[in-house]
Amino acid sequence: MKFFSYFLMRHGVKPAYLVNLGAAALITMPSCSGEGEREAEKDKAQKPNIVYILTDDLGYGDVGCYGQDKIETPNIDELAEEGILFTQHYSGSPVSAPARCVLLTGKHTGHSYIRSNDPLGERGDVWDFEKASKDPGLEGQRPIPDETVTIGEVLQEAGYTTGCVGKWGLGPPMSEGAPNNQGFDFYYGYICQRQAHTYYPLHLWKNDEKDTLDNKLVPPHTELPKEADPYDPGSYSRFRLTDYAPDLMIEETMQFLERNQQEPFFMYYATPVPHLPLQAPERWVEHYVEKFGDEEPYTGDNGYFPSRYPRATYAAMISYMDENVGKIVDKLKETGVYENTLIIFTSDNGPTYTGGADTPWFNSGGPFKEERGWGKGYLHEGGIRVPMIATWPGKVEPGTVTNHISAIWDVFPTLCDVAGVEPSQDLALDGISFLPALLGQDDQEEHEVMYWEFPSYNGQQAVRLGKWKAIRKDIFDGNMEVELYNLHTDPMEQQDVSDQYPEILEKAKEYMKEERETPVVEGFRMKQLGDTL
């Protein structure tokens, strides 16, 4: 049924959905009466546009309005000045693919289909970039199923033109999980997360067609040759090619906003920046070399590409990304739709700790730890607490701050509220709309519990209960002990108080059982939690 509906939409017909158990059922066709058409056009004109900006591996403390004092982010900071800043917003997972699945489906990782990155290695040598450039069947991650209902599909049914630009990670090209088959009228970028391990790829995807770029193949994770002088900037020239993917992505985003200014639109701008490797426009790198001074080079011995000026390049990537945020805002103003547009800015997970990115030097985690074991890949606060800012002129009070505890799985019901859509109860969303918090209202519903699980990095679970955070690590080693932290007094999670609050601890353990179901995908199951393999 979903493919039939999708076929109709691709040919200009947008039937309505009645969502039932994850499948779409046609219940109405567009009205043929002149009055009905006028009402539909009036309703469409009143719908707010939505721009959702998802950065990649941006830490809670990587932008100025969250305390960053080395990296310049004036455009993001201006968003905070013109809108609302969330102090307690969470990603759905500490790595890319599951976080994006949670975003699009509104289900946390106790219920979502994708719960970790999965390269689908059984297809062949998926890490051979030369082979993948010739065989699209080697690209992409495990696909979300055809019957999945995404926020893109729901907004399509509400009359929105939907676009996604950046990094996908939820299915190979032309598969059931590809963006054009999961609610997006337009797509441009990396379908495959592995391909995003270089910012100078051989190709990107524009819908279901390859966009071949003017770059030669430099396999990701290539180190600096042993004979090269690591202090000579010329030794790194092979890693600076012609077509810089983020430049092409922001241009496609500008074109999408330009051509859809007369209709309500949803733009999911999933920029890959500042995910590694360290590759940034030279003008920004030079700016930070002048600001920071000379530094030790990174030769690539800890993954990704080498960099002559790793700190300067990391900062350059974030300032470049900030510059693109400014371009989006300027385009919205230029086309006259800014006043009727909700913008949400956030990150898919916490900061990395590898590949030459010296995130501790930048204090990328802000009030949280960002080192290995604490940032990306881990369910500690540094891995899942992320910045989130929202602006909506005339709706969101400028310069406000909220301590409302929210998560990326709340985005689905929130955007439904914004679009005037009532999602079916059969979707079994885990999210709670945070629209009241955006609007400064007093009736904001709160989460009783928030849950995460991650069947990678040795297996992890986490629960948030008000001020309490419970975490179980090293599950694959058979560890079933749960640590407990008071985030109000110990945001860095340094003092385990599980022995002092047995009732809270037992409650957290119960939620660790109740808030999950056995993963459909066997590779995401944890036998230590009772899953059958």
Quote the pLDDT of residue 391.
98
Phi-psi region of 140 (alpha: psi -120 to 50; beta: other; left: phi over 0): left
Quote the pLDDT of residue 46.
83
The per-residue DSSP string of 516-528 comes to ----SSGGG--GG
Query: Which residues make beta-bridge pairs with 88?
Result: 405
**Per-10-residue mean pLDDT, the chain, length 533:** 38 36 33 51 76 98 98 98 98 98 98 97 94 94 97 98 98 97 98 97 97 97 96 96 98 98 98 98 98 98 97 98 98 98 98 97 98 98 98 98 98 98 94 98 97 98 98 98 98 98 98 98 97 93
Burial of 272 (0-12, 13-18, 19+ CB in 10 A): buried
Phi-psi region of 407 (alpha: psi -120 to 50; beta: other; left: phi over 0): beta
* Tally of CB atoms within 10 A around 391: 23
Q: pLDDT tens digit string along 345-373? A: 999 999 999 999 999 999 999 999 999 99
Proportion of the chain in helix, strand, coil states, percent, rounded to 5: 35, 15, 50
Query: For the chain, how many residues are written?
Result: 533
Which residue, among 9, 14, 92, has the nearest Cα to 54 in the 3D structure?
92
Burial of 33 (0-12, 13-18, 19+ CB in 10 A): exposed
Quote the pLDDT of residue 442.
95
Are 74 and 390 contacting, i.e. CB atoms less than 8 angstroms apart? no
Q: Which residues contact 166 (CB under 8 A, 6 or more apart)?
A: 54, 189, 190, 249, 268, 269, 270, 271, 272
Q: pLDDT tens digit string along 293-322? A: 999 999 999 999 999 999 999 999 999 999
> Token match 């690209």: residue?
139
- Mapped onto helix, strand or coil, the DSSP state of residue 206 is strand
Report which residue type is found at 107: K
Phi-psi region of 385 (alpha: psi -120 to 50; beta: other; left: phi over 0): beta
Torsions phi, psi for 377 (to 5 deg): 90, -5
CA distance 336 to 120: 44
Q: pLDDT tens digit string along 114-154? A: 999 999 999 999 999 999 999 999 999 999 999 999 999 99
* Tally of CB atoms within 10 A around 532: 7
